[in-house]
């Protein structure tokens, strides 16, 4: 059975990057979002690059999640629980990927309590799903330029479900990034702070989104 992936918020910068790469890698990808004209444009762009892409657009996040085996919530932190409420009945037993960072408006801190994270909040809300943190420490530009200073950008993957970590690590690889399993879902607290730091550094040093994390080792 071909794996079907729903990208909720597929018209956004992160969502479109992930969806395009996964469609190119041969997955069946359901592009879900409110703005159907943006999604139609995205479909055209994906098919121009990869004519065999198995993609469909849907305006309902529940329908897309019902049909999917894996759901990627490419939405801001502020929308994550709202979407979770809509899809919770149809994601039992499925992998749900949280890519968001709970940034404050000034982009200089996180709004979550240090004893939790956006991903753990989502997992509390979806107790029968396999919540995975991934893609939160990468900029959208990384899907188009995945090698910086001669190194492939790392993307950390965290979950309490080991099989889900392995499956999502493969997805990360298929988007052109280097997957790095980082541990249990509680590691998301660190990962979300790492995203905050990267954003601060990018602003302070004018990286212009051309930056990423890389763990060096021999």
Partner 1 sequence: MYTILQEQILKRVKLTKEEFALAKTYFIPKKVRKRQFILQEGEICKSLAFISKGCLRNYSVDDKGEEHIIRFGIEGWWISDLHSFTTGSPSMSSIDAIEDSELLLLEKSSYDKLCAAIPKIEHYFRILLENTNSAAMKRISDLISVPAEERYLNFLKTYPEITQRVPQSQIASFLGITPQSLSRIRKDLAEKK
Kindly list the residues in this chain that would bind partner 1 in the complex (CB under 8 A): 1-2, 63, 66-67, 69, 89-94, 128
Q: Provide the minimum distance between the beta carbon of 191 and partner 1 in the complex, in angstroms, as a whole number.
A: 27
Where do runs of H (alpha helix) occur along 95-212? 118-125, 162-174, 188-205
DSSP string, 1-13: ---EEEEETTTSH
- Name which of 78 and 92 has its Cβ closer to partner 1: 92
Cβ count near 152 (within 10 Å)? 15
DSSP string, 23-43: HHTT-EEEEE-S-HHHHHHHH
- Name which of 94 and 133 has its Cβ closer to partner 1: 94
d(CA 96, CA 54): 21
How far, in Å, are 22, 102, 194 from residue 26 at the CA level?
7, 31, 31
Q: Provide the minimum distance between the beta carbon of 180 and partner 1 in the complex, in angstroms, as a whole number.
A: 26
- Name which of 2 and 217 has its Cβ closer to partner 1: 2
Find, among 21, 42, 19, 43, the residue nearest to 29 by Cα.
Answer: 19
Q: Provide the minimum distance between the beta carbon of 20 and partner 1 in the complex, in angstroms, as a whole number.
A: 22
Q: Provide the minimum distance between the beta carbon of 160 and partner 1 in the complex, in angstroms, as a whole number.
A: 16
- Name which of 85 and 89 has its Cβ closer to partner 1: 89
- Name which of 28 and 189 has its Cβ closer to partner 1: 28
d(CA 151, CA 26): 25
Q: Provide the minimum distance between the beta carbon of 29 and partner 1 in the complex, in angstroms, as a whole number.
A: 14
């Amino acid at each position: 059975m071909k794996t079907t992936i729903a990208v909720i918020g597929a018209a956004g910068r992160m969502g479109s990057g992930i969806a395009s790469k996964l469609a190119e890698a041969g997955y069946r990808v359901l592009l879900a979002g409110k703005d159907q004209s943006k999604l139609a444009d995205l479909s055209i762009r994906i098919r121009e690059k990869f004519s065999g892409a198995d993609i469909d657009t849907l305006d309902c996040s529940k329908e897309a999640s019902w049909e999917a085996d894996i759901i990627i919530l490419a939405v801001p932190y502020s929308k994550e629980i709202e979407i979770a409420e809509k899809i919770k009945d149809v994601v039992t037993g499925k992998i749900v990927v949280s890519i968001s960072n709970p940034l404050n408006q000034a982009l200089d801190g996180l709004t979550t309590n240090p004893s939790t994270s956006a991903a753990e909040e989502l997992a509390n809300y979806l107790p029968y799903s396999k919540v995975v943190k991934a893609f939160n420490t990468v900029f959208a530009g990384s899907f188009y330029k995945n090698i910086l200073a001669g190194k492939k950008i790392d993307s950390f993957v965290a979950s309490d479900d080991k099989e889900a970590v392995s499956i999502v690590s493969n997805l990360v690889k298929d988007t052109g990034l280097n997957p790095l399993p980082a541990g249990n879902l509680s590691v998301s607290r660190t990962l979300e702070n790492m995203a905050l730091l990267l954003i601060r550094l990018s602003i302070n040093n004018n990286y212009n989104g051309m930056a990423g994390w890389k763990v060096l080792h021999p």
